[in-house]
């Protein structure tokens, strides 16, 4: 599961970068990541950074989360956050813009793990099944997550029980969504 997800993510990222280069003449650009150190930075122009993915250089696990919460994380989610350093990537899900979250640097990896722990603790308090977020939407109350019990990619409303299945696996999710370079 880890290898399949890693391959799907690397392939998606390659297609994403190729789309940017074809549409804009340069690698993906981000104003949100401007000034934040990362091995991904290729060029800084004006108030944006242009980036390309780089190999992940830390241990490829989420053991800090697993130990903190006595939980076993879906292997696909481990692959999602430990395959590469990259900028966030924009897609359309059911026509709606979403941002696929990626780890930008070693420091960012620590922050992501802390945020995932906070999310899982909130779900425990609400007696909800565990999910791990992988993308944001335009709504602050909706996120795209992986269900830690089934491995399904879902659209969920924070604090609510209703969830919409988007794909059976993370690999299927990556193959089925439209890259958005118009952000």
CATH number assigned to the domain comprising residue 65:
3.40.1580.20
Tell me what percent of the residues of the chain surpass a pLDDT of 70. Answer: 95
Confidence (pLDDT) at 177: 67
Contact 62, 113 (CB under 8 A): yes
Mean pLDDT on 124-128: 92
Mean pLDDT on 48-70: 96
Domain count, the chain: 1
The secondary structure element, H or E, covering residue 29 is strand 29-30
Cβ neighbours around 4 below 10 Å, total: 14
The 3 state secondary structure assigned to 128-170 is CCCEEEEEEECCCCEEEEEECCCCCEEEEECCCCCEEEEECCH
For residue 94, the 8-state DSSP code is T
Mean pLDDT on 124-140: 93
Confidence (pLDDT) at 175: 86
Confidence (pLDDT) at 174: 92
Range of the domain at 87: 2-179
Q: Is the confidence at residue 183, as pLDDT, over 60? A: no
What tens digit of pLDDT does each residue of 2-30 get?
789 999 999 999 999 999 999 999 999 99
């Amino acid at each position: 599961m880890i290898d399949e997800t890693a391959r799907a993510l690397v392939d998606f990222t390659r297609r994403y970068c190729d789309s940017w280069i074809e549409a804009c003449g340069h690698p993906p650009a981000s104003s949100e990541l401007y000034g934040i150190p990362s091995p991904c930075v290729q060029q800084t122009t004006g108030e944006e950074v242009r980036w390309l993915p780089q190999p992940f250089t830390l241990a490829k696990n989420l053991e800090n989360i697993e130990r903190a919460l006595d939980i076993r994380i879906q292997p696909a989610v481990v692959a999602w956050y430990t395959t590469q350093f990259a900028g966030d990537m924009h897609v359309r899900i059911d026509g709606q813009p979403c941002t696929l979250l990626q780890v930008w640097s070693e420091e960012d990896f620590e922050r992501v793990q802390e945020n995932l722990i906070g999310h899982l603790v909130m779900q425990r308090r609400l007696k909800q099944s565990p999910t791990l977020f992988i993308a944001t939407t335009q709504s602050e109350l909706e996120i795209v997550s992986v269900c830690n019990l089934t491995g399904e990619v879902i659209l969920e409303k924070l604090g609510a029980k209703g969830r919409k299945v988007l794909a059976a696996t993370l690999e299927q999710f990556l193959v089925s969504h439209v890259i958005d370079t118009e952000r």
